[in-house]
Amino acid sequence: MKKHYLTKWVAVCFLVIIGSQLSAQSTFTLKAEVRPRSEYRHGFKKLINPDLQNAAFFTDQRTRLMATYSAPKYDFMVSYQDVRIWGEEAQIYKPTVGSGSAFASVNQAWANLKFSKKTALKVGRQEWDYDNARILGNLAWAQQSRSHDGALLVLKDSVQQFHFGAAYNQDGKTPEQAKLLETFYNVTGNYKTLQFLWYHRDFKKGALSLLALNNGQQAKDSSNYFTQTLGGIGSIKLKKLKLEAEAYFQTGKETAGKDVNAWLLAASLTAPVGKKGNVIAGVDYLSGSSLDDAASQNNSFNPLYGTHHKFYGYMDYFYVGNASAQMSRTIGLIDPYLRLNVPVGKKSMLQVTGHQFFSPVDLYKVPEQKTTKLSSSLGTEIDLVLSAAITPDIKIETGYSQLFATESMAKIKGGDYKAVQNWAYCMITFSPTLLISKL
């Protein structure tokens, strides 16, 4: 009983401190997350040469505290996170200016104004996670995740919805009081400005989503270049089967001034296995740039701000912050795969995935001279993942991946393709709900 009253007292004090305007229909929720993950990397992202390099082993951890307040006219959320590698700081830690590499940040901080049951405007730092996360994803696998600073207008009814998102980024290295001229932006891997329109409609036996995204990048001379991504994804149920297909086209200009002409096609078929399992057969095709492409042309599809770890093999050889290129031209990817999900006991699931990677463009042993054409096969990757729920708030996941690389993979990634290339991890997630209070 004392514990019950103490919890109520803490909740009331917290709400008074943040100055919330409470009503009889308001709800305050406080959640937490602690997610340590240990990884063994022996050929992760790029081929290792065991004669020259040693494997990596480390544990990093994400810690989050998430507060959400929901009222009839608005919602409000703040998610604070700390990401660090175990041992990167001394046991007796006193930081100095500019020291340490631990990453503490606000993952989300937004307010959602509800104009009506069908219309709302969300502003602030927020995650944009759409459809299968191919183009816009929250990158939940990465400990730091991905967030956008922007505004999102939502119009919806019972079967369809329109989302319009917009963002404009500015370099924070110059203090606000000194921002009197120019709007130069110099944050690597981010956009200067972005706008997207997303439409989704549900049908009796399927769904359809369409996306139009304008991505603005800034060059070193402060000029802006824009690419447009147009396409969508649809699914349909055929008795016990599910067919899903997606297509995207990219056009515009990149920051180097080259015209962009690229595309992505993907399709998958899902069939049930037993009561709770399934098997998925699919293929992803992302166009690439060959050595024969004109100097003014870029044919390499960019999946932009999606959750790439989810699609192209868990060892992250493609599109996850690392180049897959010959002579600075991204080669693209053809990735047929087969995935089996089967329950192991009442609360565990085993996932087995096989990928066969191919290059859609010609590769050469000596690219500068275009001599001795190599095989289009880049290698085979096998991914195993076992996940188990100990309680609704505690989940364990462990995985092992092995890549059987080819000489062609070594040409674009370096390293020894004949050596064993593998990766393993173990992750435990604690995600308790600390408090739910209806006020």
Q: Please spell the DSSP secondary structure of 18-58, one letter per residue.
A: HT----TT-EEEEEEEEEEEEEEEESSSS---TTT---EEE
Q: Which residues contact 129 (CB under 8 A, 6 or more apart)?
A: 136, 137, 138, 307
pLDDT at 16: 46
Cβ 366 vs Cβ 406: under 8 Å? no
The pTM of this model reads 0.90
How many Å apart are CA 125 and CA 370, to the nearest integer? 47
How many Å apart are CA 195 and CA 185, to the nearest integer? 17
pLDDT at 95: 63
Unique residue bearing structure tokens 């590769």: 363
How many Å apart are CA 385 and CA 251, to the nearest integer? 37
The HSE-up count of residue 416 (CA atoms within 13 Å, CB side) is: 13
Torsion of CA 67, 72, 74, 76, to 10 degrees: 0
Main-chain phi, psi angles of 90, to 5 degrees: -65, 155
Kindly give the parts of the chain with pLDDT less than 70: 1-24, 93-102, 294
Cβ 338 vs Cβ 354: under 8 Å? yes
pLDDT at 294: 64
Q: In angstroms, how far is CA 192 from the centroid of its own chain?
A: 19
Residues in the chain: 439
How many Å apart are CA 35 and CA 29, to the nearest integer? 20
Q: Per the structure block, which two tokens stand in for 385? A: 């993942």
Unique residue bearing structure tokens 């059987």: 404
State whether residue 108 is helix, strand or coil.
strand
Per DSSP bridges, beta strands 160-168 and 193-203 are: antiparallel
How many Å apart are CA 342 and CA 353, to the nearest integer? 12
Q: Which of 363, 307, 316, 358 is nearest to 335 (CA)?
A: 358
Q: 144 to each of 68, 84, 130, 141, how far by Cα in Å?
A: 20, 9, 19, 9
pLDDT at 187: 82
213-263: per-residue pLDDT in tens? 999 999 888 889 999 999 999 999 999 999 999 999 999 999 888 999 999
Cβ 100 vs Cβ 89: under 8 Å? yes
Please state, as a whole number, how many other Cβ atoms lie within 10 Å of the Cβ of residue 182. 9
Q: Which of 40, 68, 70 is nearest to 55 (CA)?
A: 40
pLDDT at 183: 83
